[in-house]
């Protein structure tokens, strides 16, 4: 920001990647800060054991447990053997990014009504991972659908 009077400054909102806290901070534009290196590694989700979720490094085959609190809400769309990006800073894992789009089977939903397509009506559906989303009326049990994990919305039939 460049106020009419005085020197310019940079106003930012900063999120701590470890704790998740967001703070507002003002900096001098001439200040220099060291770069934080966030490592993004492709890992395969294997299984969960209570609150621990196990991931395997595809290159070294090393397995690491990650606590459930690190995973986030969109992890409910991930099933076993899917590849995810594990985010870490100085060896501490702070996040897991699932694939942007996943294909899952609808396990439970109410039957749709023929001809009810005038409105964008939706109905709840339970997926094979246990997640529940809204789908169009024409989707039936046993069908495979594509879901955007960032928004948790139905995209299309697979």
Query: Residue 16: is its pLDDT beyond 90?
Result: no
- What's the rounded mean pLDDT across residues 98-115? 84
CATH number of 39-97: 2.40.50.140
pTM greater than 0.75 (yes/no): no
Predicted pLDDT at 140: 86
DSSP 79-124: -TT-EEEEEEETTEEEEEE--SEEEEEEEEEPPP-TT--SS--EEE
Predicted pLDDT at 89: 84
Predicted pLDDT at 56: 93
Question: Domain coordinates of the chain in residue numbers?
Answer: 39-97, 101-157
Predicted pLDDT at 84: 92
Architecture of domain 101-157 in CATH? Beta Barrel (2.40)
Q: Given this chain, do its domains 39-97 and 101-157 carry the same CATH topology?
A: yes
The residues, ordered by sequence, that sit 6+ positions from 7 with a Cβ below 8 Å of its Cβ are 28
Residue 71's H or E segment, with its range, is helix 68-71
């Amino acid at each position: 920001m460049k106020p009419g009077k005085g020197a310019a400054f940079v106003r930012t909102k900063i999120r701590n990647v470890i704790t998740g806290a967001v703070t507002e901070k003002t900096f001098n534009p001439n200040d220099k800060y060291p770069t934080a290196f966030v490592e993004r590694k492709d890992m395969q989700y294997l299984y969960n054991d209570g609150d621990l979720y196990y991931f395997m490094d595809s290159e070294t085959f090393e397995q690491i447990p990650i606590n459930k609190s690190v995973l986030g809400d969109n992890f409910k769309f991930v099933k076993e053997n899917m590849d995810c990006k594990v985010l870490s800073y100085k060896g501490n894992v702070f996040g897991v990014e699932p694939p942007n789009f996943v294909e899952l089977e609808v396990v439970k939903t109410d039957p749709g009504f023929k001809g009810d397509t005038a409105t964008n009506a939706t109905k709840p559906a339970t997926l094979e991972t246990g997640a529940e989303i809204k789908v169009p009326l024409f989707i039936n049990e046993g069908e495979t659908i594509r879901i955007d994990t960032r928004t948790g919305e139905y995209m299309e039939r697979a």
